Structure 1
Amino acid sequence: MKTPVIGITLDSEEAGGYSKMPWYALRQNYADVVTASGGLPFALPHEPDFAAEYARLLDGLVVTGGAFDVDPGMFGATTRHDTVITKDRRTLFERRITEAMLAADKPVLGICGGQQLLHVILGGTLIQHIPDEVDNPLAHEQPNPRTEAGHDVKIVPGTLLHRIVGSDRLPVNSAHHQAAKDISDNITINAIAEDGVIEGIEDSRYRFCLGVQWHPEYMISTGDRLILDAFINAAAT
Protein backbone atom coordinates (compact mmCIF):
# COMPACT_ATOMS: atom_id res chain seq x y z
CA MET A 1 0.00 0.00 0.00
CA LYS A 2 1.07 3.59 -0.58
CA THR A 3 1.87 5.96 2.25
CA PRO A 4 -1.34 8.02 2.55
CA VAL A 5 -1.13 11.77 3.02
CA ILE A 6 -3.21 12.67 6.06
CA GLY A 7 -4.34 16.24 6.60
CA ILE A 8 -4.52 17.34 10.24
CA THR A 9 -6.32 20.57 11.04
CA LEU A 10 -4.36 23.05 13.13
CA ASP A 11 -5.64 25.11 16.02
CA SER A 12 -5.13 28.87 16.01
CA GLU A 13 -4.49 31.45 18.70
CA GLU A 14 -4.35 35.20 18.81
CA ALA A 15 -1.15 37.07 19.62
CA GLY A 16 0.34 36.33 23.03
CA GLY A 17 1.98 33.44 24.77
CA TYR A 18 4.07 31.59 22.20
CA SER A 19 4.29 34.54 19.80
CA LYS A 20 3.56 38.26 19.60
CA MET A 21 1.75 37.48 16.33
CA PRO A 22 -1.22 35.17 15.71
CA TRP A 23 -0.06 31.57 15.57
CA TYR A 24 -1.07 28.01 14.73
CA ALA A 25 -0.74 25.10 17.15
CA LEU A 26 -0.95 21.31 17.09
CA ARG A 27 -0.14 18.77 19.77
CA GLN A 28 2.65 16.54 18.54
CA ASN A 29 0.77 13.33 19.35
CA TYR A 30 -1.73 13.98 16.53
CA ALA A 31 1.12 13.68 14.03
CA ASP A 32 2.90 10.93 15.96
CA VAL A 33 -0.02 8.51 15.80
CA VAL A 34 -0.56 9.14 12.09
CA THR A 35 3.09 8.33 11.44
CA ALA A 36 2.99 5.28 13.71
CA SER A 37 0.01 3.88 11.77
CA GLY A 38 1.77 4.38 8.42
CA GLY A 39 0.53 7.79 7.29
CA LEU A 40 2.28 11.00 6.28
CA PRO A 41 1.03 13.90 8.46
CA PHE A 42 0.21 17.15 6.64
CA ALA A 43 -0.65 20.17 8.81
CA LEU A 44 -3.48 22.31 7.45
CA PRO A 45 -3.63 26.09 7.97
CA HIS A 46 -7.03 27.76 7.87
CA GLU A 47 -7.45 28.79 4.25
CA PRO A 48 -11.16 28.35 3.42
CA ASP A 49 -10.72 29.41 -0.20
CA PHE A 50 -8.21 26.59 -0.74
CA ALA A 51 -10.12 23.81 1.02
CA ALA A 52 -10.97 22.04 -2.23
CA GLU A 53 -7.35 22.20 -3.39
CA TYR A 54 -6.13 20.73 -0.11
CA ALA A 55 -8.74 17.98 -0.35
CA ARG A 56 -7.40 16.96 -3.77
CA LEU A 57 -3.92 16.55 -2.26
CA LEU A 58 -5.05 14.46 0.71
CA ASP A 59 -5.87 10.78 1.13
CA GLY A 60 -7.48 11.25 4.56
CA LEU A 61 -8.46 14.00 7.00
CA VAL A 62 -8.26 14.31 10.78
CA VAL A 63 -10.44 17.12 12.15
CA THR A 64 -8.89 17.87 15.53
CA GLY A 65 -10.32 19.16 18.79
CA GLY A 66 -9.68 22.40 20.63
CA ALA A 67 -10.89 24.68 23.39
CA PHE A 68 -13.66 26.24 21.31
CA ASP A 69 -17.13 25.40 19.98
CA VAL A 70 -19.14 25.13 16.79
CA ASP A 71 -21.24 28.26 16.21
CA PRO A 72 -24.77 27.32 17.33
CA GLY A 73 -26.14 29.09 14.26
CA MET A 74 -24.69 26.29 12.14
CA PHE A 75 -27.23 23.85 13.55
CA GLY A 76 -30.17 26.23 13.71
CA ALA A 77 -29.99 27.27 17.37
CA THR A 78 -31.50 30.67 18.13
CA THR A 79 -29.67 31.10 21.45
CA ARG A 80 -26.02 30.77 22.46
CA HIS A 81 -24.91 29.46 25.85
CA ASP A 82 -22.64 31.78 27.85
CA THR A 83 -19.83 29.20 27.74
CA VAL A 84 -19.69 29.02 23.93
CA ILE A 85 -16.44 30.23 22.35
CA THR A 86 -16.04 30.17 18.57
CA LYS A 87 -13.14 30.35 16.13
CA ASP A 88 -15.00 31.30 12.99
CA ARG A 89 -12.23 31.11 10.37
CA ARG A 90 -11.04 27.74 11.67
CA THR A 91 -14.57 26.33 11.65
CA LEU A 92 -15.26 27.65 8.16
CA PHE A 93 -12.11 26.00 6.83
CA GLU A 94 -12.77 22.73 8.65
CA ARG A 95 -16.34 22.64 7.40
CA ARG A 96 -15.33 23.25 3.79
CA ILE A 97 -12.50 20.72 3.73
CA THR A 98 -14.60 18.09 5.52
CA GLU A 99 -17.39 18.54 2.98
CA ALA A 100 -14.87 18.33 0.12
CA MET A 101 -13.34 15.14 1.51
CA LEU A 102 -16.75 13.53 1.98
CA ALA A 103 -17.81 14.55 -1.52
CA ALA A 104 -14.72 12.72 -2.83
CA ASP A 105 -15.44 9.77 -0.49
CA LYS A 106 -12.06 10.12 1.19
CA PRO A 107 -11.72 8.96 4.82
CA VAL A 108 -12.55 11.47 7.58
CA LEU A 109 -11.87 11.05 11.29
CA GLY A 110 -13.36 13.67 13.61
CA ILE A 111 -11.84 13.87 17.09
CA CYS A 112 -13.64 15.57 20.02
CA GLY A 113 -14.59 19.00 18.62
CA GLY A 114 -13.97 17.52 15.18
CA GLN A 115 -16.62 14.90 15.92
CA GLN A 116 -19.05 17.64 16.90
CA LEU A 117 -18.42 19.55 13.66
CA LEU A 118 -18.83 16.33 11.66
CA HIS A 119 -22.11 15.69 13.46
CA VAL A 120 -23.40 19.12 12.42
CA ILE A 121 -22.19 18.69 8.82
CA LEU A 122 -24.10 15.40 8.67
CA GLY A 123 -27.29 17.14 9.81
CA GLY A 124 -27.21 16.83 13.59
CA THR A 125 -27.45 19.35 16.43
CA LEU A 126 -25.37 19.83 19.58
CA ILE A 127 -25.85 20.08 23.32
CA GLN A 128 -24.31 23.49 24.03
CA HIS A 129 -23.38 22.76 27.67
CA ILE A 130 -23.70 19.25 29.08
CA PRO A 131 -24.29 20.22 32.76
CA ASP A 132 -27.35 22.24 31.70
CA GLU A 133 -28.95 19.55 29.53
CA VAL A 134 -27.96 16.16 30.98
CA ASP A 135 -29.20 14.84 34.32
CA ASN A 136 -26.40 13.63 36.62
CA PRO A 137 -23.72 13.87 33.95
CA LEU A 138 -20.32 12.23 34.13
CA ALA A 139 -17.25 14.47 34.39
CA HIS A 140 -16.86 14.94 30.64
CA GLU A 141 -14.22 17.56 31.40
CA GLN A 142 -12.26 15.06 33.44
CA PRO A 143 -10.09 16.36 36.30
CA ASN A 144 -7.39 13.70 35.82
CA PRO A 145 -4.76 13.81 33.04
CA ARG A 146 -5.80 13.16 29.44
CA THR A 147 -3.31 10.30 29.39
CA GLU A 148 -5.74 8.41 31.64
CA ALA A 149 -9.32 7.26 31.16
CA GLY A 150 -12.11 9.47 32.48
CA HIS A 151 -14.94 6.98 31.96
CA ASP A 152 -16.02 4.08 29.75
CA VAL A 153 -18.22 4.14 26.67
CA LYS A 154 -20.54 1.44 25.37
CA ILE A 155 -19.83 0.52 21.74
CA VAL A 156 -22.93 -0.21 19.65
CA PRO A 157 -22.82 -3.67 18.00
CA GLY A 158 -23.02 -3.77 14.21
CA THR A 159 -21.34 -0.40 13.73
CA LEU A 160 -18.08 0.40 11.96
CA LEU A 161 -16.58 1.37 15.31
CA HIS A 162 -17.53 -1.98 16.84
CA ARG A 163 -15.98 -3.84 13.92
CA ILE A 164 -12.79 -1.82 14.37
CA VAL A 165 -12.30 -2.16 18.12
CA GLY A 166 -13.91 -5.61 18.53
CA SER A 167 -15.28 -4.75 21.96
CA ASP A 168 -18.54 -3.70 23.61
CA ARG A 169 -16.83 -1.22 25.96
CA LEU A 170 -13.87 1.08 25.76
CA PRO A 171 -12.13 3.28 28.37
CA VAL A 172 -11.82 6.83 27.04
CA ASN A 173 -10.46 10.20 28.08
CA SER A 174 -12.86 13.13 28.12
CA ALA A 175 -12.33 16.85 27.52
CA HIS A 176 -15.56 18.46 26.33
CA HIS A 177 -18.53 20.45 27.57
CA GLN A 178 -20.62 20.03 24.41
CA ALA A 179 -21.86 16.85 22.72
CA ALA A 180 -23.90 15.51 19.83
CA LYS A 181 -27.64 15.86 20.39
CA ASP A 182 -30.27 15.27 17.70
CA ILE A 183 -29.28 13.01 14.82
CA SER A 184 -30.22 13.03 11.15
CA ASP A 185 -31.19 10.01 9.06
CA ASN A 186 -27.57 9.85 7.86
CA ILE A 187 -26.01 9.52 11.32
CA THR A 188 -25.46 6.26 13.17
CA ILE A 189 -24.60 6.49 16.87
CA ASN A 190 -21.77 4.06 17.62
CA ALA A 191 -20.74 4.89 21.20
CA ILE A 192 -22.65 6.11 24.28
CA ALA A 193 -21.52 7.08 27.80
CA GLU A 194 -23.29 5.73 30.88
CA ASP A 195 -25.10 9.05 31.31
CA GLY A 196 -26.54 8.83 27.78
CA VAL A 197 -24.17 11.32 26.14
CA ILE A 198 -23.37 10.38 22.55
CA GLU A 199 -19.67 9.55 22.30
CA GLY A 200 -19.29 8.46 18.68
CA ILE A 201 -20.97 8.71 15.28
CA GLU A 202 -20.53 7.40 11.76
CA ASP A 203 -22.16 7.62 8.33
CA SER A 204 -22.36 4.43 6.26
CA ARG A 205 -22.83 6.34 2.99
CA TYR A 206 -19.05 6.82 2.95
CA ARG A 207 -16.10 4.42 2.93
CA PHE A 208 -14.86 5.78 6.26
CA CYS A 209 -16.67 8.57 8.07
CA LEU A 210 -16.13 8.28 11.82
CA GLY A 211 -16.31 10.68 14.74
CA VAL A 212 -15.27 9.98 18.34
CA GLN A 213 -15.79 12.34 21.26
CA TRP A 214 -12.60 11.29 23.02
CA HIS A 215 -8.93 11.71 22.04
CA PRO A 216 -7.55 8.44 20.59
CA GLU A 217 -4.25 10.17 19.78
CA TYR A 218 -3.31 9.68 23.45
CA MET A 219 -3.45 5.91 22.88
CA ILE A 220 -4.81 5.01 26.32
CA SER A 221 -6.29 1.73 25.03
CA THR A 222 -5.78 -0.88 22.34
CA GLY A 223 -9.03 0.37 20.83
CA ASP A 224 -7.49 3.78 20.22
CA ARG A 225 -4.66 2.21 18.24
CA LEU A 226 -7.14 0.13 16.22
CA ILE A 227 -9.13 3.27 15.33
CA LEU A 228 -6.06 5.05 13.97
CA ASP A 229 -4.86 1.93 12.13
CA ALA A 230 -8.26 1.44 10.49
CA PHE A 231 -8.40 5.09 9.42
CA ILE A 232 -4.92 5.03 7.90
CA ASN A 233 -5.60 1.72 6.17
CA ALA A 234 -8.77 3.15 4.63
CA ALA A 235 -6.83 6.19 3.40
CA ALA A 236 -4.17 3.96 1.85
CA THR A 237 -6.60 2.00 -0.32
Structure 2
Amino acid sequence: MNARLPLIGVTLDGEPPALQGAGGYSCFPWYAIRQNYMDMIAACGGLPVALGHDPALAARMVSRLDGLVVTGGAFDVPPDLYGATEAHACVRTKPRRTAAEAALVRAALAKGIPILGICGGMQLLAVLLGGTLVQHIPDALAHALAHEQPNPRDEAGHDVYIMADTHLARLVGADCLPVNSSHHQAVHDTGRGVVCARAPDGVIEALELPGHPFCIGVQWHPEFGISAGDRLLFEGLIDAARQAGT
Protein backbone atom coordinates (compact mmCIF):
# COMPACT_ATOMS: atom_id res chain seq x y z
CA MET A 1 0.00 0.00 0.00
CA ASN A 2 1.29 3.48 -0.85
CA ALA A 3 2.06 5.79 2.05
CA ARG A 4 -0.38 8.64 2.57
CA LEU A 5 0.75 11.85 0.89
CA PRO A 6 0.73 14.90 3.19
CA LEU A 7 -2.08 17.26 2.19
CA ILE A 8 -0.64 20.73 1.54
CA GLY A 9 -3.00 23.68 1.23
CA VAL A 10 -1.91 26.35 -1.26
CA THR A 11 -3.40 29.84 -1.26
CA LEU A 12 -4.72 31.31 -4.50
CA ASP A 13 -4.61 34.73 -6.05
CA GLY A 14 -7.90 36.40 -6.91
CA GLU A 15 -8.63 38.51 -9.97
CA PRO A 16 -11.60 40.71 -10.90
CA PRO A 17 -13.74 40.12 -13.98
CA ALA A 18 -12.32 41.17 -17.32
CA LEU A 19 -13.92 44.34 -18.68
CA GLN A 20 -16.58 43.90 -21.32
CA GLY A 21 -14.91 43.28 -24.68
CA ALA A 22 -11.39 43.48 -23.21
CA GLY A 23 -10.62 39.77 -23.40
CA GLY A 24 -9.03 38.15 -20.37
CA TYR A 25 -9.73 34.85 -18.66
CA SER A 26 -13.33 35.43 -17.56
CA CYS A 27 -16.05 38.05 -17.26
CA PHE A 28 -16.58 36.75 -13.71
CA PRO A 29 -14.21 36.87 -10.70
CA TRP A 30 -11.60 34.12 -10.87
CA TYR A 31 -8.83 32.45 -8.90
CA ALA A 32 -5.30 31.96 -10.22
CA ILE A 33 -2.05 30.19 -9.35
CA ARG A 34 1.17 29.45 -11.20
CA GLN A 35 1.54 25.78 -12.06
CA ASN A 36 5.03 25.51 -10.55
CA TYR A 37 3.74 25.94 -6.97
CA MET A 38 1.68 22.77 -7.34
CA ASP A 39 4.34 20.96 -9.36
CA MET A 40 7.07 21.57 -6.77
CA ILE A 41 4.89 20.33 -3.90
CA ALA A 42 3.95 17.20 -5.84
CA ALA A 43 7.57 16.56 -6.88
CA CYS A 44 8.63 16.70 -3.24
CA GLY A 45 6.04 14.17 -2.11
CA GLY A 46 3.08 16.31 -1.13
CA LEU A 47 -0.52 16.41 -2.31
CA PRO A 48 -1.33 20.05 -3.16
CA VAL A 49 -4.85 21.41 -2.81
CA ALA A 50 -6.03 24.94 -3.65
CA LEU A 51 -7.69 27.06 -0.95
CA GLY A 52 -10.36 29.64 -1.72
CA HIS A 53 -10.86 33.02 -0.06
CA ASP A 54 -13.37 32.41 2.72
CA PRO A 55 -12.14 33.41 6.19
CA ALA A 56 -15.18 31.77 7.78
CA LEU A 57 -14.06 28.39 6.45
CA ALA A 58 -10.33 28.82 7.18
CA ALA A 59 -10.27 26.82 10.42
CA ARG A 60 -12.21 23.97 8.81
CA MET A 61 -9.85 23.94 5.84
CA VAL A 62 -6.78 23.87 8.08
CA SER A 63 -8.27 21.10 10.23
CA ARG A 64 -7.90 18.78 7.23
CA LEU A 65 -4.44 19.93 6.16
CA ASP A 66 -0.97 18.68 7.05
CA GLY A 67 0.77 21.85 5.84
CA LEU A 68 0.14 25.30 4.40
CA VAL A 69 1.87 27.32 1.66
CA VAL A 70 1.00 31.02 1.49
CA THR A 71 1.88 32.16 -2.01
CA GLY A 72 3.03 35.51 -3.38
CA GLY A 73 1.37 37.89 -5.79
CA ALA A 74 1.41 41.38 -7.25
CA PHE A 75 -0.23 43.06 -4.24
CA ASP A 76 0.63 44.24 -0.73
CA VAL A 77 -0.43 43.66 2.87
CA PRO A 78 -2.76 46.51 3.92
CA PRO A 79 -0.63 48.93 5.97
CA ASP A 80 -3.23 49.26 8.72
CA LEU A 81 -2.59 45.61 9.66
CA TYR A 82 0.83 46.59 10.98
CA GLY A 83 -0.13 49.94 12.46
CA ALA A 84 0.83 52.24 9.59
CA THR A 85 -1.42 55.26 9.22
CA GLU A 86 -0.46 56.06 5.61
CA ALA A 87 0.05 53.97 2.47
CA HIS A 88 2.80 54.55 -0.07
CA ALA A 89 1.57 55.47 -3.55
CA CYS A 90 2.86 52.13 -4.85
CA VAL A 91 0.81 50.03 -2.41
CA ARG A 92 -1.87 47.87 -4.00
CA THR A 93 -4.03 45.65 -1.79
CA LYS A 94 -6.42 42.71 -2.14
CA PRO A 95 -8.36 42.83 1.14
CA ARG A 96 -10.47 39.71 0.50
CA ARG A 97 -7.41 37.59 -0.25
CA THR A 98 -5.47 38.97 2.72
CA ALA A 99 -8.36 38.36 5.13
CA ALA A 100 -8.61 34.73 3.99
CA GLU A 101 -4.86 34.12 4.13
CA ALA A 102 -4.59 35.73 7.56
CA ALA A 103 -7.33 33.45 8.87
CA LEU A 104 -5.58 30.42 7.36
CA VAL A 105 -2.21 31.33 8.89
CA ARG A 106 -3.72 31.96 12.31
CA ALA A 107 -5.49 28.60 12.19
CA ALA A 108 -2.31 26.84 11.04
CA LEU A 109 -0.30 28.44 13.84
CA ALA A 110 -2.93 27.34 16.35
CA LYS A 111 -2.91 23.78 15.00
CA GLY A 112 0.90 23.68 14.86
CA ILE A 113 1.12 22.47 11.26
CA PRO A 114 4.00 23.44 8.94
CA ILE A 115 3.75 26.82 7.24
CA LEU A 116 5.79 28.15 4.32
CA GLY A 117 5.26 31.80 3.40
CA ILE A 118 6.56 32.84 -0.01
CA CYS A 119 7.28 36.48 -0.97
CA GLY A 120 4.05 38.29 0.00
CA GLY A 121 3.25 35.24 2.11
CA MET A 122 6.40 35.88 4.13
CA GLN A 123 5.41 39.53 4.59
CA LEU A 124 1.95 38.55 5.83
CA LEU A 125 3.49 35.99 8.18
CA ALA A 126 5.78 38.66 9.65
CA VAL A 127 2.83 41.00 10.21
CA LEU A 128 0.77 38.27 11.90
CA LEU A 129 3.73 37.57 14.18
CA GLY A 130 3.67 41.21 15.27
CA GLY A 131 6.14 42.62 12.75
CA THR A 132 6.10 45.56 10.35
CA LEU A 133 6.96 46.20 6.69
CA VAL A 134 8.99 48.61 4.60
CA GLN A 135 6.37 49.91 2.16
CA HIS A 136 8.75 50.68 -0.73
CA ILE A 137 12.37 49.54 -0.65
CA PRO A 138 13.81 52.17 -3.06
CA ASP A 139 12.49 54.98 -0.84
CA ALA A 140 13.73 53.42 2.39
CA LEU A 141 17.16 52.00 1.52
CA ALA A 142 19.91 53.82 -0.30
CA HIS A 143 21.88 51.65 -2.74
CA ALA A 144 19.30 48.85 -2.58
CA LEU A 145 19.61 45.90 -4.92
CA ALA A 146 17.11 45.44 -7.73
CA HIS A 147 14.63 43.44 -5.66
CA GLU A 148 12.24 43.64 -8.60
CA GLN A 149 14.78 41.99 -10.87
CA PRO A 150 14.73 42.90 -14.58
CA ASN A 151 15.67 39.41 -15.75
CA PRO A 152 13.19 36.47 -15.93
CA ARG A 153 11.89 35.03 -12.67
CA ASP A 154 13.30 31.59 -13.45
CA GLU A 155 16.81 33.06 -13.15
CA ALA A 156 18.68 34.29 -10.08
CA GLY A 157 18.59 38.00 -9.31
CA HIS A 158 20.99 38.10 -6.35
CA ASP A 159 22.35 35.98 -3.51
CA VAL A 160 21.07 35.68 0.04
CA TYR A 161 23.15 34.92 3.10
CA ILE A 162 21.72 32.29 5.45
CA MET A 163 22.19 32.78 9.18
CA ALA A 164 24.05 29.96 10.93
CA ASP A 165 22.27 27.76 13.45
CA THR A 166 18.81 28.43 12.03
CA HIS A 167 16.18 25.98 10.85
CA LEU A 168 16.62 27.33 7.32
CA ALA A 169 20.38 26.75 7.40
CA ARG A 170 19.90 23.16 8.54
CA LEU A 171 17.37 22.54 5.77
CA VAL A 172 19.37 23.93 2.84
CA GLY A 173 22.84 23.03 4.10
CA ALA A 174 24.39 26.23 2.79
CA ASP A 175 25.32 29.71 3.98
CA CYS A 176 24.54 31.39 0.65
CA LEU A 177 21.92 30.78 -2.03
CA PRO A 178 21.23 32.39 -5.42
CA VAL A 179 17.58 33.47 -5.52
CA ASN A 180 15.09 35.22 -7.77
CA SER A 181 13.55 38.46 -6.56
CA SER A 182 10.18 40.07 -7.26
CA HIS A 183 9.14 42.47 -4.50
CA HIS A 184 9.10 46.19 -3.76
CA GLN A 185 8.32 45.78 -0.06
CA ALA A 186 10.28 44.01 2.68
CA VAL A 187 10.01 42.98 6.30
CA HIS A 188 11.23 45.70 8.65
CA ASP A 189 10.59 44.00 11.98
CA THR A 190 9.92 40.27 12.37
CA GLY A 191 7.88 40.44 15.58
CA ARG A 192 8.04 37.03 17.25
CA GLY A 193 9.93 35.66 14.28
CA VAL A 194 13.70 35.71 13.85
CA VAL A 195 15.72 36.68 10.80
CA CYS A 196 17.34 33.69 9.08
CA ALA A 197 18.55 35.24 5.80
CA ARG A 198 19.49 38.65 4.39
CA ALA A 199 20.38 40.07 1.00
CA PRO A 200 23.78 41.75 0.56
CA ASP A 201 22.09 45.16 0.98
CA GLY A 202 20.70 44.11 4.37
CA VAL A 203 17.09 43.46 3.30
CA ILE A 204 15.53 40.64 5.32
CA GLU A 205 15.07 37.66 3.00
CA ALA A 206 13.80 34.95 5.37
CA LEU A 207 12.35 34.55 8.83
CA GLU A 208 11.33 31.64 11.03
CA LEU A 209 9.35 31.11 14.21
CA PRO A 210 11.35 29.46 17.01
CA GLY A 211 9.62 26.59 18.75
CA HIS A 212 7.33 25.82 15.83
CA PRO A 213 7.87 22.50 13.96
CA PHE A 214 8.14 24.36 10.62
CA CYS A 215 7.23 28.01 10.19
CA ILE A 216 9.44 29.73 7.63
CA GLY A 217 8.94 32.69 5.33
CA VAL A 218 11.21 33.42 2.37
CA GLN A 219 11.18 36.57 0.26
CA TRP A 220 12.12 34.78 -2.96
CA HIS A 221 10.17 32.22 -5.02
CA PRO A 222 11.61 28.74 -4.32
CA GLU A 223 8.90 27.07 -6.43
CA PHE A 224 11.06 27.98 -9.45
CA GLY A 225 13.86 25.74 -8.17
CA ILE A 226 16.69 28.21 -8.86
CA SER A 227 19.04 26.25 -6.58
CA ALA A 228 19.18 22.89 -4.83
CA GLY A 229 18.30 24.77 -1.64
CA ASP A 230 14.89 25.69 -3.06
CA ARG A 231 13.89 22.07 -3.44
CA LEU A 232 15.38 21.19 -0.04
CA LEU A 233 13.13 23.85 1.49
CA PHE A 234 10.03 22.22 0.00
CA GLU A 235 11.26 18.76 0.95
CA GLY A 236 11.65 20.01 4.52
CA LEU A 237 8.08 21.32 4.46
CA ILE A 238 6.74 17.99 3.19
CA ASP A 239 8.77 16.00 5.73
CA ALA A 240 7.43 18.16 8.56
CA ALA A 241 3.88 17.84 7.16
CA ARG A 242 4.29 14.07 7.03
CA GLN A 243 5.13 14.10 10.73
CA ALA A 244 2.17 16.38 11.43
CA GLY A 245 -0.16 13.97 9.65
CA THR A 246 0.91 10.86 11.57
TM-score bracket for this pair, using the shorter chain length: over 0.9
Look at both structures and tell me which one has the larger radius of gyration over its CA atoms: 2
Matches of 2:195 and 2:105, distance apart in 1? 19
Deviation at 1:83, TM superposition (A): 0.5
- Output the CA distance in 2 between the equivalents of 1:213 and 1:72: 18
Alignment of 1:84 with 2:91, yes or no, is yes
What do you get for the CA RMSD once the two structures are aligned?
A: 0.7
Amino acid at match of 2:12: L
* 1:57-72 correspondence to structure 2 within 5 Å: 57-72=64-79
Pair 1:226 & 2:224 matched: no
Alignment of 1:9-24 (within 5 A): 9-16=11-18, 17-24=24-31
- SS of the residue corresponding to residue 18 of structure 1 reads coil
Q: TM-score, normalised by structure 1?
A: 0.98
1:177-213 CA-partner distances (Å, limit 9, x unpaired):
00000232x2110000011100000001211000000
Task: Calculate the TM-score normalised by the size of structure 2.
Answer: 0.95
Superposition pairs of residues 61-140 of structure 1, within 5 angstroms: 61-140=68-147
1:2 Cα deviation (Å)?
Answer: 2.9
**Matched residue type, 2:111:** A
- The count of corresponding residues between Structure 1 and Structure 2 is 236
The unaligned stretches of length 5 or more in structure 1 are: none
Aligned partners of 2:227, 2:32: CA distance in 1, in Å?
Answer: 25
3-state SS of paired residue (1:181): strand
Question: CA deviation digits over 1:53-105, x for unaligned, max 9?
Answer: 00101100000000000000000001100000000010000000101001010
Q: 2:162 aligns with which of 155, 162, 180?
A: 155
Contact 2:126 2:189 in 1 (8 A): no
Where does structure 1 differ by over 4 angstroms across 4 or more consecutive aligned residues?
Answer: none
Structure 1 residue 132: deviation in Å? 0.4
Deviation of 1:52 (Å):
0.4
Identity %: 58
Aligned equivalent of 1:201: 207
Structure 2: runs of 5 or more not aligned:
19-23
Structure 2 equivalent of residue 213 of structure 1 = 219
